[in-house]
Amino acid sequence: MTRALRFTPLLLLLLVVGALTWRLTTPADTAVPSRMTGQPVPTFDLAPLVVGKPGLVSADLASGKPRLLNIFASWCVPCIAEVKVLDGLRRRGVEIDGIAVRDRPQAVAQFLARNGDPYARIGGDSESRLQISLGSSGVPESFVVDGRGIVRYQHIGPIEAADVPVILAQLEQVR
């Protein structure tokens, strides 16, 4: 076996290790920004779902103040944990509107009575139409909407205690 042949594996290894080192030191950008960020909220008009609580119209979101728009459902288990965190946000002065997806009035009323009610308004989205046009793929999901009705931030999954500072910072930023 010639010397060149014997040293070929070593050289190939150097090449591969070199390329892998380069990849490790310059990580690829994998962040996927939300499609809705910077877009106005689609026009909608959701009827009230719970007695004594107004429904939700797209004009309500352009109230001059930043708001949190929360997509939830009474049949969604993570929402039970999330709604308590949202109640904490409400007590700190955040205005929260809810969209109940594929839900019945009775069930929503029970859900709020049992777990707390942080919502200023609740619209019923019985066929997920608004949910889909908002680009939301699951429940729960939340949007930070600025005073002119433009989506500034999308949060996928329940808002947990650890997410509260991020949400507050986002609300502060668009004020």
Partner 1 sequence: MTAEAGLAALWLAAALAAFQLLLMVLALCSAVDVQRAMRGVAMVQGALTIMSFAMLLLVFARTDLSVALVFENSHSAKPFMYKVAGAWGNHEGSMLLWVTVLAAAGAIMALLSRRTSGRTLVAALGAQAALALGFYAFLLLASNPFARLNPAALEGRGLNPLLQDPGLAFHPPTLYLGYVGLSVAFSLAVGALLTGEVDARLARAMRPWVLGAWIFLTLGITAGSYWAYYELGWGGYWFWDPVENASLMPWLAATALLHSINVLAARGALKAWTMMLAVIAFSMSMVGTFLVRSGVLTSVHAFAIDPQRGTFLLALLAIYVGAAFALFAWRGATLKEGAQFELVSRESGLVVNNLMLSVILGIVFVGTLYPLFVEAVAGAKMSVGAPYFNAVAGPLALILAMLVGVGPLLAWRRERRPVLRRLTVPALMAATALALTIILAPDMTILSRLGLAVAAFLAGASILPLIARNPLRVPLATWGMVIAHFGIAVSLAGMAANAAFTSEKLAVARVGETLRVGPWLVQLEGVAPVAGPNWTAIQAELRATRGEGPVLLTPEARYFTDPPTETGEAAIRTFWNGQLYTVVGKPDADGGWQLRLWWKPFVTLIWAGGVLIALGGALALVGRLSLFRRRRPSADWRKERYA
Which residues form the interface with partner 1 (CB under 8 A)?
1, 3, 6-7, 9-10, 13-14, 16-17, 19-25, 27-28, 30, 75-78, 81, 102, 127-129, 132, 137-139, 157-158
In whole angstroms, how close is the CB of 76 to partner 1 at the nearest point? 7
Q: Which of 78, 11, 162, 6 is nearest to 70 (CA)?
A: 78
Nearer to partner 1, 20 or 113 (CB): 20
CA separation for the pair 71, 122 (Å, rounded): 10
With contact defined as beta carbons under 8 Å apart, do 151 and 66 qualify? Answer: no
Nearer to partner 1, 27 or 165 (CB): 27
With contact defined as beta carbons under 8 Å apart, do 86 and 99 qualify? Answer: no
CA separation for the pair 153, 33 (Å, rounded): 9
Nearer to partner 1, 56 or 120 (CB): 56
In whole angstroms, how close is the CB of 77 to partner 1 at the nearest point? 5
